[in-house]
Amino acid sequence: MLGAPTFASPLRLSVSERGVPFVQPDASVRLSVSDDDRESASFERAGPRERLFFKSDEVRAGIVTCGGLCPGLNHVVRAIVFALVHSYGCSAIKGYRYGYEGLTASGVAPIELGTEIVRDIHRIGGSYLGASRGAQPLSEMVDSLVRDGISMLFTIGGDGTLRGAHAIATEIAARSLPIAIVGVPKTIDNDVAFVDRTFGFETAVEQARTVLQAAHAEARSARNGVCIVQLMGRDAGFITASATLASGEVNVCLVPEVPFTPTALAKYLEQRLAARGHAVIVVAEGCAAQLGDTSGDSRGAKRDVAAALAARIAAHFRTIDRPIAIKVIDPSYTLRSVPATADDAIYCDQLGRYAVHAAMSGRTDLVVGRVHRELVHVPLEKVAGAARRIEPNGELWRLVLEATGQPRLV
């Protein structure tokens, strides 16, 4: 908290005569759902507070989107602006351009945001504000917030963005500045620690399912047809696993968390093609290490892992003098840039509005996320640098193995 909340929330009079159901100060959500685990850690429940730290109509807010594209980015920006303006009467909102670079002296100047400007941005994919990766000078970013008179900054991004947000909040605290930093977790990989779902994930899975259905048509239309689809997942295979279950067309699912060898995979494909004549393989981009390749881009991912896997498989089938028709599909950038589906759009709207509620109450250095379908405040220090992974002995991977029928590929 930046300090004691002393201002009455305007929400009491803006919704109905009965008022808004404000969240009580001690409301929390436990991480464990087991009644036997009463010592489980818990997070503060998110939502509107009756008392605010900021005088809402005097707030100057900033919004920044960082990292790669993700479905729903514009929905979140729009929701934040609408909540600031319509719920709290704030009219001074800056959109910082192209990630944290926009908070530096060399960055593109910020733009003024309002409801008319953002009214239709949720209809398009990408980022209206622009996005970029990479660290920027910490002191310079905080100096920009001070220069612009910013009361609260909303950072929308994944692990790197949230680590940056925590660093900014720490610097602000060291300077004793009354600036709230609130994050909204954006990673298409759905791997933010403690958060059971990040926005954009559901849209990506839906889009990936369509691709996998097309891949199945390609594979079964060729003699010994094999179609390899590469999906996002630098360290975690949640999209790959979930799209496998959603499509019902995948025969082999490969994720970074579960070991496999190209040799074992090729041997299994021999059996699969002999029995069924075609196969669909879906592989997460972070599986390059399983191929013995530790090189990659600046984010640690190898963009052509599917092509490398196809080359290994083709080489194996040449050694046994057996014809095989392999096709490779990488829809990654297409999946990232589409508008959000209805379910994701609703979730984005919730996240954006609850982020505003948190900042207005003086809460800072946190991310608004979902735990057991409840929105909560998770301290950025817990999220930054941590991550969720598929548990190889857990239910999700068990369901994948049942759906595909694949054996252990080691």
Active site residues per annotation: 189
For residue 368, what are its two tokens? 């608004």
Contacts of 149 (CB under 8 A, 6+ apart): 60
The residue assigned the tokens 């490779």 is 328
Count CB neighbours of 282 within 10 A.
30
Q: To the nearest 10°, report the CA torsion of 308, 313, 318, 321.
A: -170
Q: Which of 177, 163, 184, 99 is nearest to 358 (CA)?
A: 184
For residue 159, what are its two tokens? 């692990």
Find the helix packing angle between 305-319 and 262-276, rounded to 10°.
70
DSSP-derived letter for residue 36 is T
CA distance 56 to 83: 11
For residue 111, what are its two tokens? 């733009």
CA distance 282 to 310: 12
Judged by DSSP in three states, 384 sits in coil
Residue 6 CA neighbour count, 13 Å, CB half: 4
Q: Which of 144, 161, 149 is nearest to 108 (CA)?
A: 144
H-type alpha helices, 48-136: 73-82, 115-118
State which amino acid sits at residue 268.
Y
CA distance 261 to 408: 10
CA distance 65 to 103: 11
Q: Which residues of 167-190 are buried (b: 16+ CB within 10 A; e: fewer)?
A: bbbbbbeeeebebbbbbbbbbbbb
User: Per this entry, what is the length of the chain?
Assistant: 410
* 345 within 8 A of 71, measured Cβ to Cβ: no
